[in-house]
Structure 1
């Protein structure tokens, strides 16, 4: 059975998928180790290990230390057995990577795009780049088992279709999974880009943290929520839409959503650039703001810190509501350095209850521009490595 058929088959659970989950950490184990961990008989374990070996997702990993007699063989997850395509689309950029099933990047590519050109143009380019990356990584198309895509707008995760995305003209209800599946012939999963950034940061840098908030500050402002170790999307996939929360005591600036005083209208990259332009500086985009700050411009540095204070005012309520252990700040404006985070910390620590901030860390992203593709990779890999998917494969 081809791996792309996993979601279309619903066999009776064999238990092999649950056994495989024990091996996903990559640590070599013997059959005896697995029998002890599961309470299953050695004959059952032997049968299931043989099935996993035949799938290629588990491979021999040498011999364990002997306590007398022949050393027992060990087995471990083989993430190089298959690959996924991870796609991070923004308002003006595309980043793609081919990764193995553990998220290790094998080939990657980034370029400027215009999301407003519409789904057909943009997704045709995604397919073209994706096929090129498979070739660069030296992997045949048959090794590709799934695709993960992040989009810069609300997404119905169940269907993978964008829902009234404000900066994506022509994308509303576009069948993104259908378009890509028809070209690449594997399952395609789609989510909001900030959700995937949160997932990428969490799985690669903060796996031991169960409560994390990822905040992206760029053309827009949004958040991805990790609670109890899992990504939370909300009823319609709109959880984390910080950009359209009113700033406490903020200016009544019109926002593209139709309201006034939204965080995005006050503290996003374009909003900061507009403020700087009014003060006589040449700034149009988030990148222009970052360039000015890195050049040591005090006016730009102060403007970014003030934007951080506005973001902090909204995040203070989030801290009281969600009680995260870590807030990670990313996005292009975060590349301006400590000015943004300093403003956020100043207000969050002042406005939130001491109990909620007692152990709270507010930090810059560790994955930078890679967060989106790492999250897309994690989402795509999980789709084919879950217990149910492995049981379907084995069947």
Structure 2
């Protein structure tokens, strides 16, 4: 069958990255025989990953033919699902958005209702983009909760009863029988921030929205922990008798989470809290600064333990007052050496950063050399026929 040497997936990377534009380029770069190059290229064409286009300018004989990454040959779906808001997109294989939407969401309705809504939104966007089920290669999903990265199972309820042990890939796969990659929402934001901070390989991402969570980039890699629960600072006990959504008392979230602040200020949700702060409502300004101090108190322990170079804060309740409160207590309660050079700042990414990161996440999974090899191997081809 295939000649030894560069695999189909490795040849695809050469084309995708623009290193090889012709079959001759592939042969020169890899040392593969003409027959082996043709075999690999034909497999990539068959799976709509590469196309050949005739170039103009030939003075006789066959016109020169150029290989291109067939970015429009298929699509991926993305869903950045939050506790109170969700964003969706259909993208081509280069990550270009073909159709997108943003809607309110409510996790308290339970997984059946919420995940049906996800499917409905993705169905509608797929039609709006003029694509069909046959075009879909994979789905990237972020969700607020502890996620088993291998299985996509939620191993801890995110914000409401009924979500524990929900198999998100199984539910979405019943409608779209393609790979589904599920990740914690704060982890997805951390990956986006890491891309936005080149050269900063030790970074802590704080999401202050309906809940409070942390994601950790250490030595350039996302730290998930033994069961995916790294960064769950929202349920760190800080004292007091307020009851948290998790049922315990004294959690950080019960004092600094957007849901708790919304209850305290008499508004609907975390986004409404942010609106009050932007309107300079005196009570909201006091509450948000206090929430920042409480988050900073817990974040100081994270700084002492991990010594990050940067803390980036994102979410619906982020404001100058919240970040100032986090800075105040973090610098006050962390060691001098751990805060040397430490920056604490609000995210400058737009509100589609999580959605974009979901797209990158699924594309990295689908278009890796190993994934392409599995897709183009005879057993995979047989299974998909």
2:330 pairs with 1:348 = yes
Instruction: Report the Cα distance in structure 1 between the residues aligned to 2:67 and 2:335, rounded to whole angstroms.
Output: 49
Whether contact under 8 Å (2:5, 2:32) holds in the other structure is no
Deviations 1:188-231 (A, max 9, x none): 2222222222233434x335543332211112101222233332
Report which structure shows greater RCO (CA 8 Å, sep ≥6): 1
SS in 2 for 1:327: strand
Q: Specify whether residues 52 and 207 from structure 1 end up closer, same or farther in structure 2 by C-alpha distance, changes over 3 A only.
A: farther
Alignment match, 2:175: 183
| Aligned residue-pair number | 366
Unaligned runs of at least 5 residues, structure 1: 1-11, 64-71
Whether contact under 8 Å (1:328, 1:364) holds in the other structure is yes
SS in 1 for 2:230: coil
2:260 pairs with 1:264 = no
Instruction: Report the Cα distance in structure 2 between the residues aligned to 1:350 and 1:376, rounded to whole angstroms.
Output: 36
Alignment match, 1:212: 203
Whether contact under 8 Å (2:159, 2:245) holds in the other structure is no
Please point out which of 269, 273, 282 is paired with 1:285: 269
2:232 pairs with 1:246 = no
2:115 pairs with 1:131 = no
Whether contact under 8 Å (1:28, 1:75) holds in the other structure is no
Alignment of 1:251-330 (within 5 A): 251-275=240-264, 277=265, 282-330=266-314
SS in 1 for 2:175: helix
SS in 2 for 1:184: coil
TM-score (normalizing by structure 2): 0.82
How much does 1:73 deviate? Answer: 7.5
Instruction: Report the Cα distance in structure 2 between the residues aligned to 1:59 and 1:362, rounded to whole angstroms.
Output: 46
Q: Specify whether residues 186 and 34 from structure 1 end up closer, same or farther in structure 2 by C-alpha distance, changes over 3 A only.
A: same
2:205 pairs with 1:221 = no
How much does 1:238 deviate? Answer: 0.7
How much does 1:357 deviate? Answer: 3.3
Please point out which of 324, 339, 342 is paired with 2:321: 339
Q: Specify whether residues 59 and 227 from structure 1 end up closer, same or farther in structure 2 by C-alpha distance, changes over 3 A only.
A: farther
Whether contact under 8 Å (1:329, 1:364) holds in the other structure is yes
Alignment match, 1:90: 82
TM-score (normalizing by structure 1): 0.80
Whether contact under 8 Å (1:251, 1:266) holds in the other structure is no
Alignment match, 2:339: 357
Instruction: Report the Cα distance in structure 2 between the residues aligned to 1:200 and 1:287, rounded to whole angstroms.
Output: 21
Whether contact under 8 Å (1:62, 1:74) holds in the other structure is yes
Q: Specify whether residues 124 and 299 from structure 1 end up closer, same or farther in structure 2 by C-alpha distance, changes over 3 A only.
A: closer
Instruction: Report the Cα distance in structure 1 between the residues aligned to 2:100 and 2:72, rounded to whole angstroms.
Output: 16
Instruction: Report the Cα distance in structure 1 between the residues aligned to 2:140 and 2:317, rounded to whole angstroms.
Output: 25
Instruction: Report the Cα distance in structure 2 between the residues aligned to 1:322 and 1:74, rounded to whole angstroms.
Output: 49
Alignment match, 1:57: 49
Instruction: Report the Cα distance in structure 1 between the residues aligned to 2:170 and 2:229, rounded to whole angstroms.
Output: 22
Q: Specify whether residues 245 and 77 from structure 1 end up closer, same or farther in structure 2 by C-alpha distance, changes over 3 A only.
A: farther
Q: Specify whether residues 104 and 285 from structure 1 end up closer, same or farther in structure 2 by C-alpha distance, changes over 3 A only.
A: same
Q: Specify whether residues 22 and 330 from structure 1 end up closer, same or farther in structure 2 by C-alpha distance, changes over 3 A only.
A: farther
SS in 1 for 2:156: coil
Q: Specify whether residues 233 and 76 from structure 1 end up closer, same or farther in structure 2 by C-alpha distance, changes over 3 A only.
A: farther
Deviations 1:271-301 (A, max 9, x none): 33444x4xxxx43532232122111223322
Whether contact under 8 Å (1:162, 1:171) holds in the other structure is yes
Aligned-CA RMSD value: 3.2
122-131 or 357-366, larger mean C-alpha shift: 357-366
Instruction: Report the Cα distance in structure 2 between the residues aligned to 1:23 and 1:196, rounded to whole angstroms.
Output: 28
Instruction: Report the Cα distance in structure 2 between the residues aligned to 1:390 and 1:86, rounded to whole angstroms.
Output: 20
Whether contact under 8 Å (2:237, 2:250) holds in the other structure is yes
Unaligned runs of at least 5 residues, structure 2: 56-63, 378-385
Whether contact under 8 Å (2:145, 2:158) holds in the other structure is yes
